[in-house]
Chains A and B, each alone.
Chain A
Amino acid sequence: MERRQFIYGTLASATALSLGIAFWPEPVSIPAPLDEAQQWLFVALIPVVLEGAAPAQRLEQQAPRIAVAVADLIATLPPGVRQQLAQLLGLLQQKLGRLVLTGSMLPLAEQQPTLLSQLLDDWRFHFLELIRTAYAGLRDPIMAVWYGDPANWSALNYQPPSLGGAR
């Protein structure tokens, strides 16, 4: 993917300046899509979120590919949304943040699947909205990537109509 730093300084055209317009906003750097450690976080969660959708071994094998698709999806989002997600994932990568969010110092990617499942369940009913946000932010893109893939539709008996030779 092509990444660009959006340089707000280019907004300062002479015409606009002569009109006395206040420019919005100040220069800010755009967070990159998922780094390798963050992708591995998704890799750990994918077999838990999708448990039952396919045999466990197949889910584990496909998890790295699904995580790449999640990263691709995130790359299409506006910078502010990516920044929010980056902050959440950063928190999960820091020991203290992990302790607060998960009750454990162990990296999520090293947790047992049964513990991860319990953790996600705790998060979705948590009294803090921030933690329920984390649950949705991790769960939703995994669901979208898996169920958006035609290779997984036969289990649902779902098939779009064929337009045949019409296209």
Chain B
Amino acid sequence: MIPDPIKAGLAQGWQHVDGSQLTESSRIKADVVVIGSGAGGGTAAQILAEAGLAVVIIEAGPLKSSSDFVMQERVAYPDLYQQSAAMKTADQAIGMLQGRNVGGSTTVNWTTSIRTPRQTLAHWAQHFGVEQITPESMAPWFEQAEQALNISPWPVPANANNALMAQGCERLGWDWTVIHRNVRGCADLGYCGMGCPLNAKQSMLVTTIPAALSAGAQLYSRTEAWQLLHDGERVQGVLCHTRDPQHQRRDITVTVEAQQVVLCGGALHSPALLMRSAAPDPHKLLGKRTFLHPTVMALARFAKPVNAHAGAPQSVYSDQFLWPQAPDAMGFKLEAAPLHPMLLSSKAPGFGVAHHRMMQSLNHLQISLALLRDGFADHSPGGRVILDDFGDPVLDYPLHDELWQGIRNAFLQMVRLQFAAGAEAVLVAHDQELWWRDLASAEAGIAQMALAPLQTTVASAHIMGGCGMAGSPEQGVVDSWGRHYQLSNLSVFDGSVLPTSLGANPQLTLYGLARRNAHALLARWPRG
């Protein structure tokens, strides 16, 4: 029998309230309220609770655990993802995957753990005055996170989906790297995106959140931070709305009064909470410069089975094109992805007979992703978070010309990689639905392809920015320690503080920054 550490902890007396079960509104008090339980919130909650502070964790999503993780997309997506994994940008042109559960996106990510690229940190120092965050100053925090979450190079041979990517790189003389993963006792199943049924993934759900609860923290799940109660200088409390099991808001509230607020709602919901709260924003920066890694995909059919649903979803990547020499060229990272039927069928182009024929070849498909590194040039302002009629965040993210040029180049390089690895035929995810059987045809086809929103499939699992950090309040919502420039007892420790996209999967950056900033918060805490 696989142990379920969450059920065991609850049986031992962890303090958890499922907001959907509350029958009347209530008020509670704490030293610190941590909003969100993902990479930033989980990390901060453990550090602050273990230091002896009274911590309340507020999480809009449900508390699900390994007993609930049945390796089925139709169960996992409504349970664990924002908008049942169907979230899109304002014009519907980009699909976005983001966790919404206790553990946040760390419960459902593919375990790829990469330190913040040196070039990205140098860019932040030069353009945003974030000079204290360097590879050297961050090294101890990354080392701590790597040790705590067992992050290390994946020692098991890559599954065929990833191995073919490595083979293609080898044959073309391209850079490639074995991915570091946050797993312990991983059985190489391939269902990380649906919640790890073995508790092998060292997500916040099975590491920092249990540690925080064991140290006395209180967890409110299905409880959404709706509004900060503030006077323009300090936050007095947080008004939260509970949610029903269908993720709809209820009028039963929980109000948390706390000395300190640590906001970790992620790059859509943190700016949205500040907007709903009419938080001071003297330089009109809130919600601006929100970035994705706009991601496009190429499918390749191989004669031998690939079984891209089985095995560690991501175990190699290539940075061959991540930092192009031309200063304005759009760099991109190449990675693989797991192929499961529900997500593939809705992201792959077409319908009817041709679509189903593609689906029938599922086990022979290799998939390559290109994650575009947006936000580093003057013409890359990214997107903007706005509130809809109901107060929910919507991301307006225009796809500009430089992105389309980057996408076309990414398609070209991905099909080169796939043919070099021995593909029989390739298809880039675009509604033209053309399978090319040789490289010359693919190159010619891609060169003249009419790329357009809602015809070219674009998605992203990484949402960053919107409460950007900077060396001055004219440039940032928070400083480089995550402290809000106007609300003195509010800190932001999540992906919303990133001034650009990262050029790497975000989780390790967020673990490192949250550790650093939570310890700094503790050092500032009044002794009494």
A interface, CB within 8 angstroms of B: 1-4, 6-7, 10-11, 13, 15-16, 19-25, 28, 30, 48-53, 73, 75-81, 83, 117, 120, 124-125, 129, 132-133, 135-137, 139-141, 143-150, 152-153, 155-158, 160-161, 163, 165-167
Q: Does B341 contact A (CB under 8 A)?
A: yes
| A12 to B: closest C-beta gap in Å | 10
Given known A-B contacts A19-B230, A53-B356, A80-B388, A136 and B342 have beta carbons under 8 A apart: no
Residue with the highest number of chain B CB atoms closer than 10 Å, among A129, A141, A143, A145: A143
B interface, CB within 8 angstroms of A: 1-2, 67, 71-74, 77-78, 83-84, 86, 91-93, 189, 191, 197-198, 226-227, 229-231, 236-237, 239, 241, 244, 246-251, 253, 255, 275-278, 309-310, 340-342, 344-346, 351-357, 359-360, 362-363, 387-392, 394, 431, 453-455
| A151 to B: closest C-beta gap in Å | 11
For the complex, what is the distance from the CA of A120 to the CA of B354, rounded to whole Å?
14
For the complex, what is the distance from the CA of A81 to the CA of B392, rounded to whole Å?
10
User: Once the chains bind, are A163 and B345 in contact (CB under 8 Å)?
Assistant: no
For the complex, what is the distance from the CA of A148 to the CA of B229, rounded to whole Å?
42
User: Once the chains bind, are A163 and B390 in contact (CB under 8 Å)?
Assistant: no
For the complex, what is the distance from the CA of A153 to the CA of B71, rounded to whole Å?
13
Given known A-B contacts A153-B341, A167-B67, A25 and B352 have beta carbons under 8 A apart: no
Given known A-B contacts A19-B229, A129-B91, A48 and B351 have beta carbons under 8 A apart: yes
User: Once the chains bind, are B346 and A140 in contact (CB under 8 Å)?
Assistant: yes
Give every chain B residue within 8 A of A125 (Cβ-Cβ): 431, 455
User: Once the chains bind, are B253 and A78 in contact (CB under 8 Å)?
Assistant: no
User: Once the chains bind, are B345 and A146 in contact (CB under 8 Å)?
Assistant: yes
User: Once the chains bind, are B92 and A137 in contact (CB under 8 Å)?
Assistant: yes
Given known A-B contacts A10-B251, A80-B388, A21 and B454 have beta carbons under 8 A apart: no
User: Once the chains bind, are B197 and A2 in contact (CB under 8 Å)?
Assistant: no
Residue with the highest number of chain B CB atoms closer than 10 Å, among A30, A78, A146: A78
B interface, over-half SS: mixed
| B91 to A: closest C-beta gap in Å | 6
Give every chain A residue within 8 A of B352 (Cβ-Cβ): 48-52, 117
User: Once the chains bind, are B453 and A28 in contact (CB under 8 Å)?
Assistant: no
User: Once the chains bind, are A148 and B73 in contact (CB under 8 Å)?
Assistant: yes
For the complex, what is the distance from the CA of A143 to the CA of B33, rounded to whole Å?
41
Which single member of B91, B189, B230, B390 contacts A28 (CB below 8 Å)? B390
User: Once the chains bind, are B346 and A167 in contact (CB under 8 Å)?
Assistant: no
User: Once the chains bind, are A21 and B455 in contact (CB under 8 Å)?
Assistant: no
List 5 A-B pairs, Cβ < 8 Å. Answer: A4-B248, A6-B251, A16-B239, A52-B352, A143-B346
Give every chain B residue within 8 A of A22 (Cβ-Cβ): 278
User: Once the chains bind, are B2 and A76 in contact (CB under 8 Å)?
Assistant: no
| A82 to B: closest C-beta gap in Å | 10
For the complex, what is the distance from the CA of A19 to the CA of B353, rounded to whole Å?
60
| B352 to A: closest C-beta gap in Å | 4
